[in-house]
Every structure is written in structure tokens, then in C-alpha cells.
């Protein structure tokens, strides 16, 4: 029950903002690029918000947080003002760009920017961080906490969280409720800053800073003295006036988007997916991908098993063969992961780099889009078709590795090993999404390949930074390499959620850019 409720809560915090944005996008004629700019304003604000907080903490201006902490009220006020100023500055810069491009003339435009800002915060803080925290707590539920070297305060806090997680798992939905409050606040603040630009007045910006500071400061202070439910109700009371103002300010006459119903669009998307799958089969791309992955699956255990024997047969290399330890199932799995991540990575980029750029270059995209096919369906059909091909290829490759490892070494745990294959599939989807984004931006296949490679390299570099490595695709590979082998492997919900969010962000950005391009 605990795992089920936690999974539902995390999925809600990731997909609810996207669902609200889709509703607004379909109900009103607002472009996805505004949602993306909202994402950018939040992420951009954190690039200086977090360092400022760390600097103020080092100076002693921001003190400890706790019921008995000295100057708690001052710390709460400063943290509230820090968040309010940092994020409002980012909003101001975002709207400066939008108004110069005449992209945010209507009330609904400001709402979608706010959904992007609050939505990515919900996905990261609510979805990714909550999933990571729950995974960590669940991993130590049967351990003796006194052996973990925690302070008395930390031990008490962790024990309380574990008790709440096991005895009252439904409390996890308070996090969902909190994210809804935060999204409501961010939409209100976004519309306030939008109004400042629309009316050329400063006071809405100042009000946005104060309102944000009030809610964040109250959250810090009240959490030290009240139960979680009362804290959330207090935050709701603070956010409610803004929500009422937002509702009353919404224009009565708005331009709705004329077009197909969502059922018809989904049906067209399904048809486009089938067309793409047939194209993958006719061009032999699917066959090549499956053949390569199965070859990796069959060859990897063989290489691990017979590499010492091969070295013995090479003149002059006999002494090196004796230095290699007896190969095990661990070596077979490691060889499979190594082959897959090195060559599969290249294949994903090669097969996806022309998905959109190639069709734009040939002129076929214009012909296809002249039919009643939404642009989002055109893009996502390509992603879905590639995802299906990679799923089949990885499933067969993983089963091939399992079988040959069973024959040559020892049996692996089938369930965990197949889950490792699922993680590798998710890894390929991240690079598929970034390749699709590069192909969408580019005008030719060559430039699409270059942009896809650049995006992939950036992901690899970011994944090499220890502080954030668990949130990038490399963490999925490290996790998959341990599954199926003897020993307990902790569940890394944070890595799973973070890479899911990366895929969503890349796809949303690709759709946002594609719908504004002239084909």
C-alpha cells in the first residue's frame, strides 16, 4: 500500500502540471513556448538563488532552522525574501523577452508561463526529490538506525518520517496538496508580473515579491511548530486570496482554439505511430537495431567467458592471460552494459537525427502536415515509434544476455535483470528525446546530428558531476549494472523520476519550437 500510494503521489506531481497546461493549451489559443519559458525562469532563478542562500548561510545571516533556533523569524523572513526576489527577477526578465517578441499579450499567456514555472518546480521538488527521499527512507526501514552515525536530532527526524511513512502512508498526498498550492501561487505571481508589463506599472512586481516572501517565510516558520496538515491549511489560506483574484480577473471573452477534438487528435497520433513503425520496418532500421542489440546480448557473455582463452592463443600475450581473474556472471553483465552504452548510444543518435530535420529538408513534412495531423502528433509519433523499436530490441538483447549467462556462468535473477533492461530502455529514451529536439531545431540532417551530439555530451558532462549525477541518464546505467546479480540493490526512485522529467522537458520543448516553425 505504501509503495502504491507513494507512486501515485509522485506521478501526480509530475503529470498534473502537464495536464493543466494541456487543458489550457486546448481551451485557449496559447503556445507551448510560454510553458517552456516558465520552465526556464524557474531553473534560471535557481542558478543564483541557491548560491545566494549558501553565501548568506556562510555569513551567518541565515541561521539554523528548528523550534529552538535563535532568530528563527529572521531566517524565515530572509529565506522568503530570497525566494521572492530571485524568482520575480527571473519572471521580469522572461516577460521582458516575451513582450519584446509580442508573445504574451493576453491574460492566458501569463497563466501558461506560471504553469511552466510552478509545473517544473512540482516535477523537480515534488516528483524527483520526493521519490528520492521515499526511496532512501524505504531502504533503511528494517535497519538499526543507531548504526548510521546520525546525530540525535537527525535520528529523531528520520524515525518520525519512517513511522509516518509506514503507519499513515496517505500523508504523502499532503505533498501533492502543497504542490497544488505552490502552482496556484506561481500562476498568480506570474499574472501579477504580466500585469506590470501590460499596464507599465511597478507595484504588481513589488506585490509579487511580497506575496511570494509571505508564503515561503510562513512555510519555514510554521513548519517548526505545527503539524503538516495545519501548515498546508495555513498556506492554502495565504494562497486563496490570490486564486480568487486570479479567477475574478480572468477575461470573460476569450479566444478559444478551433480544431479537432482530443479523441480525434489521439486517433490521428495512433495512426501516425503505426505509419512510423511500418516505415521503420520497410527501411530495415528496426531490423538493424534488433539485430545489433541481440548480437550484443549474445556476444557479451561469450567475450567475458573466453577473453582469457583468446589471450592465451595470442603469441606473447600468455603472461597477461594469467593476470585476468576467472570471469563471472558479473563480468558478463558488465560487458553487455559496456557494449550497449557505447554502441547503442551512437545508434540512437544516428537513427533519430533525421527524424524531423530530414523530412523538413526533403519537403515531406509540409505534405504530411497539410493533412489534419497536429504538429504534436507528428513529433510524438516519431518518438513513440522509436521507443517501441528500442523496447523490443532491448528486451530481446536482455533475454539473450540472460540465456548465455545462464549457460556459461550461473543464473541471474530474472525479474531484477529484466528491470535493469527497462532502465536501459529509459536511458535510450532520454537520448532519443534529446536527439528529436536537436532534429526539430535543425534544418538539415547534418546539423541535427551535431545538435543531438551536443545535447548528449552535455548530459554526459552533467552526469559526471557527483552532486547531481543521480539525476542524469548515467545513473540508470550504473543501477542497471547491479541488477540480477547477488546482493541487495537499493531502489533509486529519484533517478527514475528525474530521467522521466528530462524526457518530458525535451519533448515539450521540441513541440513548442516545432509549432512555431514555418514548414
User: pLDDT digits over 221-254, tens only?
Assistant: 998 888 889 999 999 999 999 999 999 988 875 5
The reply to whether 47 falls in a domain is: yes
What global pTM score does this model have? 0.91
Please check whether residues 163 and 17 belong to one and the same domain.
Answer: yes
Please check whether residues 169 and 318 belong to one and the same domain.
Answer: no
User: If we measure between CA atoms, which residue out of 188, 240, 182 comes closest to residue 216?
Assistant: 182
How much is the mean pLDDT over the chain? 87
Please check whether residues 241 and 334 belong to one and the same domain.
Answer: no
Q: Give mean pLDDT, residues 255-279.
A: 81
Please check whether residues 238 and 306 belong to one and the same domain.
Answer: no
Q: Label residue 442 by pLDDT band (50, 70, 90).
A: confident
Beta carbons within 10 angstroms of residue 120's beta carbon: 25
**Residue 269 and residue 380 in contact, taking contact as beta carbons nearer than 8 Å:** yes
Q: Check pLDDT > 90 for residue 146.
A: no
The reply to whether 28 falls in a domain is: yes
pLDDT at site 321 = 55
Q: Give mean pLDDT, residues 5-25.
A: 92
Please check whether residues 431 and 329 belong to one and the same domain.
Answer: yes
Total domains present in the chain: 2
Q: Cα separations (Å) of 302 from 293, 305, 330, 394, 481?
A: 15, 5, 13, 18, 17
Q: How many residues does the chain have?
A: 519
Please check whether residues 193 and 293 belong to one and the same domain.
Answer: no
Q: Check pLDDT > 70 for residue 295.
A: yes
CA distance 224 to 232: 13
- Buried b / exposed e along 427-450 (16+ C-beta atoms within 10 A): bbbbbbbbbbbbbbbbeebebbbe
Please check whether residues 334 and 477 belong to one and the same domain.
Answer: yes
Q: Can you give the residue range of the structural domain that contains 104?
A: 2-249
Please check whether residues 233 and 292 belong to one and the same domain.
Answer: no
pLDDT at site 98 = 94
Q: Label residue 294 by pLDDT band (50, 70, 90).
A: very high
The reply to whether 467 falls in a domain is: yes
518/325: higher pLDDT: 518
- Buried b / exposed e along 262-275 (16+ C-beta atoms within 10 A): eeebeebbeebbee
230/171: higher pLDDT: 230
The reply to whether 390 falls in a domain is: yes
Please check whether residues 191 and 327 belong to one and the same domain.
Answer: no
Q: Cα separations (Å) of 462 from 151, 176, 431, 471, 490?
A: 32, 29, 14, 9, 23
pLDDT at site 150 = 65
DSSP letter for 29, please. Answer: -
Please check whether residues 156 and 303 belong to one and the same domain.
Answer: no
Q: Give mean pLDDT, residues 314-343.
A: 75
Q: Check pLDDT > 90 for residue 64.
A: no
Q: Give mean pLDDT, residues 107-120.
A: 95
Amino acid at each position: 500500500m505504501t509503495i502504491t500510494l507513494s507512486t501515485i503521489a509522485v506521478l501526480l506531481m509530475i503529470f498534473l502540471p502537464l495536464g493543466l497546461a494541456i487543458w489550457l493549451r486546448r481551451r485557449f489559443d496559447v503556445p507551448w513556448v510560454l510553458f517552456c519559458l516558465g520552465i526556464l525562469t524557474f531553473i534560471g532563478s535557481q542558478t543564483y538563488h541557491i548560491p545566494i542562500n549558501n553565501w548568506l548561510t556562510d555569513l551567518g545571516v541565515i541561521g539554523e532552522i528548528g523550534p529552538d533556533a535563535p532568530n528563527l523569524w529572521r531566517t524565515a523572513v530572509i529565506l522568503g525574501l530570497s525566494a521572492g526576489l530571485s524568482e520575480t527577477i527571473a519572471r521580469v526578465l522572461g516577460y521582458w523577452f516575451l513582450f519584446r517578441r509580442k508573445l504574451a499579450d493576453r491574460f492566458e499567456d501569463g497563466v501558461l508561463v506560471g504553469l511552466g514555472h510552478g509545473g517544473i518546480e512540482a516535477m523537480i521538488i515534488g516528483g524527483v526529490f520526493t521519490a528520492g527521499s521515499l526511496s532512501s527512507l524505504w531502504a533503511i526501514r528494517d535497519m538499526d538506525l543507531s548504526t548510521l552515525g546520525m546525530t540525535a536530532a537527525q535520528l529523531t527526524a528520520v524515525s518520525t518520517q519512517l513511522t509516518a511513512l509506514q503507519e499513515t502512508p496517505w500523508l504523502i498526498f499532503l505533498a501533492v496538496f502543497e504542490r497544488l498550492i505552490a502552482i496556484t501561487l506561481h500562476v498568480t505571481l506570474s499574472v501579477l508580473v504580466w500585469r506590470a508589463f501590460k499596464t507599465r506599472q511597478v507595484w504588481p512586481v513589488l506585490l509579487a515579491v511580497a506575496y511570494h516572501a509571505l508564503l515561503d517565510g510562513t512555510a519555514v516558520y510554521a513548519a517548526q511548530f505545527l503539524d503538516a496538515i495545519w501548515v498546508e491549511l495555513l498556506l492554502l489560506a495565504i494562497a486563496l486570496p490570490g486564486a480568487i483574484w486570479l479567477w475574478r480577473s480572468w477575461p470573460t471573452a476569450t479566444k478559444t482554439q478551433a480544431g479537432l477534438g482530443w479523441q480525434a487528435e489521439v486517433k490521428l497520433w495512433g495512426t501516425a505511430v503505426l505509419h512510423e513503425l511500418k516505415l521503420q520496418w520497410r527501411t530495415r532500421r528496426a531490423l538493424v537495431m534488433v539485430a545489433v542489440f541481440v548480437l550484443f546480448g549474445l556476444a557479451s557473455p561469450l567475450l567475458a567467458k573466453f577473453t582469457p582463452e583468446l589471450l592465451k592463443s595470442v603469441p606473447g600475450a600468455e603472461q597477461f592471460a594469467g593476470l585476468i581473474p576467472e570471469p563471472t556472471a558479473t563480468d558478463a553483465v558488465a560487458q553487455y552494459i559496456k557494449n550497449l552504452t557505447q554502441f547503442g548510444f551512437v545508434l540512437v543518435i544516428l537513427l533519430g537525427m533525421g527524424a524531423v530535420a530530414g523530412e523538413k529538408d526533403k519537403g515531406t513534412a509540409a505534405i504530411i502536415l497539410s493533412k489534419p495531423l497536429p504538429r504534436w502528433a507528428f513529433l510524438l509519433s516519431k518518438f513513440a515509434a522509436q521507443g517501441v523499436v528500442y523496447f523490443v530490441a532491448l528486451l530481446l538483447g536482455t533475454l539473450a544476455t540472460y540465456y548465455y549467462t545462464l549457460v556459461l556462468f550461473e543464473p541471474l535473477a530474472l525479474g531484477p535483470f529484466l528491470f535493469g533492461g527497462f532502465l536501459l530502455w529509459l536511458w535510450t529514451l532520454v537520448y532519443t528525446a534529446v536527439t528529436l529536439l536537436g532534429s526539430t531545431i535543425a534544418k538539415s540532417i547534418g546539423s541535427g546530428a551535431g545538435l543531438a551530439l551536443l545535447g548528449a555530451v552535455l548530459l554526459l558532462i552533467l552526469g559526471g558531476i557527483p552532486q547531481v549525477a543521480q539525476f542524469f541518464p548515467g545513473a540508470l546505467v550504473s543501477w542497471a549494472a547491479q541488477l540480477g546479480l547477488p546482493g541487495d540493490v537499493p531502489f533509486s526512485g529519484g533517478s527514475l523520476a528525474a530521467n522521466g522529467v528530462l524526457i518530458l522537458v525535451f519533448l515539450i520543448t521540441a513541440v513548442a519550437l516545432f509549432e512555431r516553425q514555418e514548414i
